[in-house]
Amino acid sequence: MDSSDWQAVTLTLQLGGYTTLILLVIATPLAWWLARQRSWLSAPVQAIVALPLVLPPTVLGFYLLIWLGPEGFVGATLESLGLQHLAFSFEGILIGSILYSLPFAVQPLTESFRQISQGQLDVAATLGAGWWRRFWTIVVPSCQGGFLIAATLSFAHTLGEFGVILMLGGSIPGETQVLSVLIYDHAEAMNYQAAENLSLGLLLFSFVVLMAVYTWQKRPTGGARYVAR
Amino acid sequence: MLHVDIELQRGDFRLQLAHQFAAHKVTAIFGPSGCGKSTLLRSIAGLEPGLRGTVCWQNNIWHAQERIVKTEQRGIALVFQQPHLFTTKTVEANLRYGMPRASVLKACAMQFEDIIELLSLQPFMQRKPAQLSGGQQQRVAIARALLSQPQLLLLDEPMNGLDQAAKSQIMADLKRIQQRFALPILLVSHHVDEVVQLADEVVIMREGKLLSTGTLQQQVGQLSLHDEGPLSVLSISPGDNNQKDGLLAWQLGQQTLWLPTTGLPANSDSKRLLVWARDVSLATGPLKNTSLNNQVRAQIVGFERAQHDAEMVVELAVGEQQLRALVTKASIERLNLRAGYCVYAAFKAAALH
């Protein structure tokens, strides 16, 4: 492993970490709305959230490249404000990762919010707990499992992301060259030993993370059994 | 004082009700299932979206077109039919959830240790709700509500699913707590015995509307329409503490009743005696050879139809109070009972509250 390999490892972990944090913030209210409100908008919103599950990543990457690039409406707007457009940048692939992993955060959270007892929330309100306190004292402890699964899947799925990043970010060391892209570059350059080192590392790491989650889930208080179904 | 004038549409069910609830008293809301009792409580608590009209508590507007106070700011507590304990927390954490800060709590009426003792919760403090029986869970729910120091307590059939022993225990505790703290309570119930034991005022509901309202004594006739047939509630006061063979003397106006001493608080004030009309028998003269202990002189006021065609409800006046007897038409003919006649009514008391 040379320094460019380590740079890719750091970049990948950063991308996964930021994606997971931002996704938890975005997906929580979205999942809450999907789980608790009946609206004609629910079905179209659910469909949009699930799109990354079925679309080839190249399609998502292609549209993002157009929109975030210098000619696209987001990129052009940023440039007119004196900022940089987002194609081939870390911020760009971060946005791509968030969209790409959105269903993996929203779906477990929606499922776990559906299990929450409205009775407990009503009681908490009559006992003087405002919205924020109800969320932290009732929702979060009851949905620990859902949050853990959402975070793990978002993180792991971001590690495995390839197509979107290649389309949108290219392979710029230290900026957009994450592990999956670097492995591809190594293999293309016939540098099989380096590719294998990184591949094996990623394989073991992913296995350990998933195993840890499923072990935790099996505990009697682990909750979130719905994911195992 | 709670003033309610509300309207709520839920599918084809419509709640429409205006009433001023008495302060510092227990008001029972009585009626058949599905008549909107629970919805009324939830509306008062602010848990029903789409409510129209006004809800005012003392001088505060809780709900009006231009202003809605959130549930958590109303200073109420609601005990639901299910205990709804917080499953991830211990019993103690459940109890402390709604409690004010320690500095504020000092000045409050209901102290932690008192309530724990009153509802015998000490042994369960560190358990999780799933480890408790239904009755224990409901006691925790009631204690949790009381410890939040509500200015108004809403009880939605809190005794549902409890066995008789647990129920009597909790009802007695609630009565004691209510009297000690003059806490206004709205109690939803469809059990006559709960209403008779706890209520001062009664609101009778039918199909989302208020059917009638008044003191417990005034509404006894209405209570009869729903449950186990007609009944009477007699107010009795302690006699001169005469005990005889495990019986204690009580005064019903000028007349004396003998009731079992068991389970009665020693220094009791006036009590309510629940008597089912089917447990009252009439005679034209004093009965000598009977196992019934209690006989009073009464005057026939009138007759009412009973559920069964062969029977009549005989309305009697015992001093100032009203007693009902369920008697067959054949007996009325045989004894030649007419309004204004004096008879002897012998009865078995169902419950003394």
Please say whether the beta carbons of B98 and B130 come within 8 A: no
Look at residue B275 in the predicted model and tell me its pLDDT: 87
Do both B124 and B195 map to the same domain?
A: yes
Do both B219 and B235 map to the same domain?
A: no
Residue B258 lies in a domain: yes
Residue A228 lies in a domain: no
User: Between chains, do A120 and B97 touch, taking CB under 8 Å as contact?
Assistant: no
Residue B353 lies in a domain: no
Look at residue B276 in the predicted model and tell me its pLDDT: 87
* pLDDT above 70: percentage of residues in chain B: 95
The whole-chain average pLDDT of chain B stands at: 87
Q: Which tens digit of pLDDT belongs to each residue from B148-177?
A: 999 999 999 988 767 777 787 788 888 888
B241, amino acid identity: N
B313, amino acid identity: V
Cα B347 to chain centroid, rounded? 22
Provide, as residue numbers in chain B, all residues whose Cβ is less than 8 Å from the Cβ of A220. Answer: none
Q: Tell me the C-alpha distance between A27 and A110, whole Å.
A: 9
Residue B317 lies in a domain: yes
Do both B161 and B217 map to the same domain?
A: yes
For residue B275, which phi and psi values (nearest 5 degrees)?
-130, 120
Please say whether the beta carbons of A32 and A150 come within 8 A: no
Do both B182 and B273 map to the same domain?
A: no
Output the six-digit token pair for A15.
Answer: 């991308």
Residue A71 lies in a domain: yes
Look at residue A228 in the predicted model and tell me its pLDDT: 33
Q: What is the domain count for chain A? A: 1
Cα B191 to chain centroid, rounded? 8
Model confidence at B42, in pLDDT bands (50, 70, 90)? very high
Look at residue A178 in the predicted model and tell me its pLDDT: 92
Q: Which tens digit of pLDDT belongs to each residue from A164-203?
A: 999 998 888 988 999 999 999 999 999 999 999 999 999 9
Residue position matching structure tokens 């417990």: B216
Do both B50 and B175 map to the same domain?
A: yes
ipTM over 0.90: no
Q: Tell me the C-alpha distance between B57 and B2, whole Å.
A: 5
Look at residue A66 in the predicted model and tell me its pLDDT: 93
Mutate to test the interface with A, among B42, B47, B79, B88 (most CBs of A within 10 A): B88
Q: Which tens digit of pLDDT belongs to each residue from A8-56?
A: 999 999 999 999 999 999 999 999 999 988 889 999 999 999 999 999 9
Give the residue from B173, B191, B224 where a domain finishes.
Answer: B224
Look at residue B166 in the predicted model and tell me its pLDDT: 75
**Residue A225 in this model has a pLDDT that exceeds 50:** no
Give the residue from B224, B243, B274 where a domain finishes.
Answer: B224
Residue position matching structure tokens 């799925």: A157
Residue A224 lies in a domain: no
Do both B242 and B260 map to the same domain?
A: yes
User: Between chains, do A119 and B98 touch, taking CB under 8 Å as contact?
Assistant: no
Do both B20 and B48 map to the same domain?
A: yes
Coil, helix or strand for B240? strand
Partner residues linked to B78 by β-bridges = B154
Please say whether the beta carbons of A115 and A107 come within 8 A: no
Give the residue from B166, B199, B224 where a domain finishes.
Answer: B224
CATH code of the domain containing A67: 1.10.3720.10
Residue B16 lies in a domain: yes
Look at residue A18 in the predicted model and tell me its pLDDT: 97
Mutate to test the interface with B, among A123, A142, A143 (most CBs of B within 10 A): A123
Do both B204 and B304 map to the same domain?
A: no
CATH code of the domain containing B135: 3.40.50.300
Do both B273 and B180 map to the same domain?
A: no
Give the residue numbers spanning the domain of B23.
2-224
Residue A223 lies in a domain: no
Q: Tell me the C-alpha distance between B186 and B39, whole Å.
A: 13
Look at residue B263 in the predicted model and tell me its pLDDT: 55
Do both B43 and B184 map to the same domain?
A: yes
Residue A120 lies in a domain: yes
Q: How far is B76 from chain A (nearest CA, A)?
A: 6
B311 closest CA partner among B300, B322, B298, B325: B325
Q: Tell me the C-alpha distance between B296 and B254, whole Å.
A: 10
For residue B316, which phi and psi values (nearest 5 degrees)?
-120, 150
Provide, as residue numbers in chain A, all residues whose Cβ is less than 8 Å from the Cβ of B89. Answer: 141
Q: What is the domain count for chain B? A: 2
Give the residue numbers spanning the domain of A82.
3-217
Provide, as residue numbers in chain A, all residues whose Cβ is less than 8 Å from the Cβ of B86. Answer: 120, 123-124, 137-138
Residue A227 lies in a domain: no
Q: Tell me the C-alpha distance between B141 and B148, whole Å.
A: 11
Residue A222 lies in a domain: no
Residue B115 lies in a domain: yes
Output the six-digit token pair for A77.
Answer: 């707007």
Q: Residue B96: closest CA among chain A residues belongs to which residue?
A: A127
Do both B153 and B275 map to the same domain?
A: no
Q: Tell me the C-alpha distance between A202 and A142, whole Å.
A: 32
The sheet that has B2-10: what strands, in order across it?
B67-68, B60-64, B52-57, B2-10, B13-21, B209-215, B201-206, B26-30, B185-189, B152-156, B76-79
Residue A96 lies in a domain: yes
Residue B209 lies in a domain: yes
Q: Residue B41: closest CA among chain A residues belongs to which residue?
A: A126
CATH code of the domain containing B336: 2.40.50.100
Q: Which tens digit of pLDDT belongs to each residue from A113-126?
A: 999 999 999 999 99
Do both B275 and B187 map to the same domain?
A: no
User: Between chains, do A126 and B145 touch, taking CB under 8 Å as contact?
Assistant: yes
Provide, as residue numbers in chain A, all residues whose Cβ is less than 8 Å from the Cβ of B154. Answer: 126
